[in-house]
Amino acid sequence: MPKMRIIYTHNKIHYYLSLLNPFVLVLLSLLCSPSLSAANSAHNTFLHCLVNHYSDLSHPITSSIFTPNNALFSSVLQSYIRNLRFNTTTTRKPFLIITASHVSHVQSTIVCAQKHNKLMKIRSGGHDYEGVSYVAEEPFFLLDMFNLRAIEIDIETETAWVQAGATLGEIYHSIAQKSKIHAFPAGTCPTVGAGGHISGGGYGSLMRKYGLSIDHVIDAQIVDAQVKFLESNFIA
Ligand SMILES: *[C@@H]1O[C@H](CO)[C@@H](O)[C@H](O)[C@H]1NC(C)=O
């Protein structure tokens, strides 16, 4: 019986929140614009902040904003609810969902959330068992990362840039398309999002020999409310 030989070389992963993915932008242009007037006044200043003050004009944020009045609001919210205990009518819903498709959307969201003191939940694959990425006891909005899922693999340098919304299955598949001898140690469930998995450490079936996902993260692009990007360049 032929055996497949899997050699794990020390491939590293770059983990980032923000690289532009043209395909994502094409996809998003099909989504509906929000009805801004539908948001109640308490959230209007936050919305205006998002739309007017911080957006990169070449990547308008409006098509990424979903108020509860938007016809797609429920399906966007439900599509990454992995714990069906929280897929009920009585579960508190976000007052807004932002499906960021460009780094400027993430930046606007974080700056405005801090400025207007709004509680933000960030969701990539939605696999947290407690629903903490999309459920809260206080009023909150959701920064949904599923549109930011680009994966760029460089076999020469044995590195990959992965956006937060990419799933583990997509990462494994992308690596397999480029190489039969490379792998990345992470979890076993293919629909888990890279953002939550890696930031939580990332254990999986290669763990005994190669450690956690986070042991193989060598760089990150982080967006915060103070500066445009934090370009880290650390060696794991
Ligand atoms: C979540 O609930 C909605 C109805 O409220 C239903 O249409 C949808 O299928 C549910 N999601 C799953 C994954 O069961």
Indicate the pLDDT class of residue 84, thresholds 50, 70 and 90. Answer: very high
On whether the CB atoms of residues 174 and 21 are closer than 8 A, the answer is no
Binding site membership of 9 for ligand 1 (Cβ less than 6 Å): no
Mean pLDDT, rounded, for 32-43: 47
Rounded Cα gap, residues 143 and 84, in angstroms: 20
CA of 87 to the centre of ligand 1 (A): 6
Domain closes at, from 144, 172, 207:
144
Residue 221: band (very low, low, confident or very high) from pLDDT cuts 50, 70, 90: confident
Residue 4 has pLDDT above 70, yes or no: no
Q: Which atom of ligand 1 is closest in space to residue 81's alpha carbon?
A: 13
Statement to judge: residues 38 and 140 lie in one domain: yes
Q: Whose CA is nearest to atom 1 of ligand 1?
A: 87
| Per-residue model confidence (pLDDT) at position 233 | 55
Cα-trace Rg, the chain: 19
Q: Whose CA is nearest to atom 2 of ligand 1?
A: 87
| Same domain assignment for residues 180 and 199 | yes
Ligand 1 near 84 CB (within 6 A): yes
Note whether residue 215 is domain-resident.
yes
**Which token pair is 47?**
């919305």
**pLDDT higher at 37 or 120:** 120
pTM of the model: 0.80
pLDDT bucket at 52, cuts 50 / 70 / 90? confident
Our answer on whether the CB atom of 87 is closer than 6 Å to any ligand 1 atom is: yes
* One domain for residues 100 and 140: yes
Query: Which has the higher per-residue pLDDT, 134 or 21?
Result: 134
Residue 44, domain CATH: 3.30.43.10
- Answer yes or no: is the C-beta of 52 below 6 A from any ligand 1 atom: no
- Separation of CA 75 and ligand 1 centre (Å): 9
Is the pLDDT confidence value at 5 over 50?
no
The answer on 111 and 82 residing in a single domain is yes
Least confident of 46-50, 57-61, 200-204: 57-61
Residue 73 falls inside a structural domain: yes
Kindly state whether residue 156 falls inside one of the protein's structural domains: yes
Please give the Cα distance from 83 to 127 (Å, whole number).
7
Q: Choose which residue among 74, 78, 91 to substitute to test ligand 1 binding: the one with the highest number of ligand atoms within 8 A of its C-beta.
A: 78
User: Is position 98 within any domain?
Assistant: yes
Structural domain total, the chain: 2
In a domain, 152, yes or no: yes
| Lowest-confidence region among 67-71, 106-110, 142-146 | 106-110
State which residues form the domain around 191: 5-19+148-233
Cβ of 78 below 6 Å from ligand 1: yes
Question: Which residue has better confidence, 58 or 27?
Answer: 58
What pLDDT sits at residue 37? 44
More confident residue, 27 or 125: 125
CATH of the domain at 203: 3.30.465.10
Please tell me which residue, 25 or 72, carries the higher pLDDT value: 72
User: What is the biggest distance separating any 2 CA atoms in the chain, rounded to whole angstroms?
Assistant: 68
Asked whether residue 121 is domain-assigned, the answer is yes
Q: What is the pLDDT of residue 55?
A: 60
Q: Is 157 in the pocket of ligand 1 (CB under 6 A)?
A: no
Is 28 part of any domain? Answer: no
Give the tens place of pLDDT for each residue, 88-102: 999 999 999 999 999
136 and 108 co-located in one domain = yes
Q: How far is the CA of 145 from the centre of ligand 1 (A)?
A: 20
Task: Give yes or no for residue 91 CB within 6 A of ligand 1.
Answer: no
Band (129; pLDDT cuts 50, 70, 90): confident
Contact 63, 32 (CB under 8 A): yes
Query: Mind giving me the DSSP string for the chain?
Result: -----------EEEEES----HHHHHHHTTSPPP-GGGS-HHHHHHHHIIIIIS--TTS-SGGGEE-TTSTTHHHHHHTT--SGGG-STTSPPPS-EEE--SHHHHHHHHHHHHHTT--EEEESS---TT-TTT--SS--EEEE-TT---EEEETTTTEEEEETT-BHHHHHHHHHHH-SS------S-TTSBHHHHHHT----TTHHHH--GGGGEEEEEE--SSSS-EEE----
